[in-house]
Amino acid sequence: WFAAVVSSVLSSGINAEYGGEKNGGTRTVPVQKSPRFYPTEDCKTPLKNRRVAKPTKLRGSIVPGSVVILLAGSHRGKRVVVLKQLPSGLLLVTGPYKINGVPLRRVDQTYVIATSTKVELPALPAIGDEIFKRKGKPTKNEKEMFVDNAGDNSYKISAEKVALQKEIDALVVPAVKKVDMLQSYLRSRFTLTKGQFPHEMKF
Amino acid sequence: MQPVKLFSKGVVTGYRRGLRNQDSSISLVKIEGVTSKADTEFYLGKRIAYVYRGLKSRKNKITKRDTKLRVIWGKVRRAHGSSGVVRASFRTNLPPKAIGATVRVMLYPSRV
């Protein structure tokens, strides 16, 4: 790479005027100055990584519209409808919010048990991972570092999300109501009781 | 909010051992209701939590609540023998007082 730099230096240049009697009037000043330091040995540049990430392979049992049991988190045990798989690989899931209080949420498929129940979903508006992105904490400059944060930094749901939730619920809830008892099924929570063993269950 | 049970109960039966030596990095867990090697297939890879109490209250870093409960997390590695016992390894080896204690075998990572 050093050879490349030198050759570029020698090829390009600006003609600059210099004052002073004995300074020669004009001289070519290189556009790119040669580096002040260079390593004694040429170092290899690593090959460019051309890997493109694919979303995780969806289990065959999970399909848009399938009802799924959340296994962890604040909504554990709740039965919930899968809307689709997002480009990040996570599942986009909704209660629907009106039925069991689970909002539009992303869930990893390993934290979910797929049941054989499926809901016929109508065409839904396109949703990506962007609405779920959290805004980073504001970086404090030196003065503010010692001042106690007066503002409330807790997470507040954006109006955009609330509107999107209403829009999607308006499509999903009627589809749920069409199926007999599905609404009360989604309201109930999954739990293991005495004598129940998951390896014996058919979900 | 009604509490829901989303784990299987298991009992720590000891460490992997020969008659006179034991490997304390691998615990043996007997999961309730699992009586054959074929039944253990569901539980392979599932996370296990050994929950116990300490004397002093500590603040939980996730829930930010003071609690005396502590956990050692681990996972089900493989079957042990043909009667449904399972080998588990934990992030730190289980203390010997855990032998005979209950352990929670969670339902995640789920492959169903």
Q: Is the pLDDT at B55 greater than 70, yes or no?
A: yes
Q: Is the pLDDT at A140 greater than 60, yes or no?
A: yes
**Lowest-pLDDT range of A84-93, A142-151, B27-36:** A142-151
Residue A137 exposure: Cα atoms within 13 Å on the Cβ side: 8
Residue B91 sits at the chain A interface (C-beta within 8 Å): no
Q: Which among A61, A71, A200 has the least Cβ separation from residue B107?
A: A71
**% of chain A residues with pLDDT over 90:** 39
Measured CA to CA, the distance from residue A95 to residue A27 in angstroms comes to: 74
The complex scores an ipTM of 0.87
Residue A111 sits at the chain B interface (C-beta within 8 Å): yes
Residue A199 sits at the chain B interface (C-beta within 8 Å): yes
- CA atoms B88, B93, B96, B98: torsion sign: negative
Q: Which among B7, B42, B108 has the least Cβ separation from residue A199?
A: B42
Q: pTM (2 decimals)?
A: 0.77
* Nearest-Cα residue of chain A relative to residue B39: A199
Q: Which among B40, B43, B112 has the least Cβ separation from residue A113?
A: B112
Task: Give the per-residue pLDDT at A149.
Answer: 60
Task: Give the per-residue pLDDT at A50.
Answer: 86
Residue A82 sits at the chain B interface (C-beta within 8 Å): no
In chain A, which ranges are continuous DSSP H helix? Answer: 2-11, 97-100, 159-178, 182-187
Q: How confident is the model at residue A129 (pLDDT cuts 50, 70, 90)?
A: confident
Task: Give the per-residue pLDDT at A39.
Answer: 76
Task: Give the per-residue pLDDT at A127.
Answer: 86
Mean pLDDT of A37-51: 82
Q: How confident is the model at residue B43 (pLDDT cuts 50, 70, 90)?
A: very high
| Candidates A113, A194, A199, A200, partner chain B, best to mutate (most B CBs within 10 A) | A199
Task: Give the per-residue pLDDT at A4.
Answer: 59
Which two tokens mark A33?
């100055």
Q: Is the pLDDT at A8 greater than 60, yes or no?
A: no
Q: Is the pLDDT at A174 greater than 70, yes or no?
A: yes
Q: Is the pLDDT at A123 greater than 70, yes or no?
A: yes
* Rounded (10°) CA dihedral B5, B9, B15, B18: -150
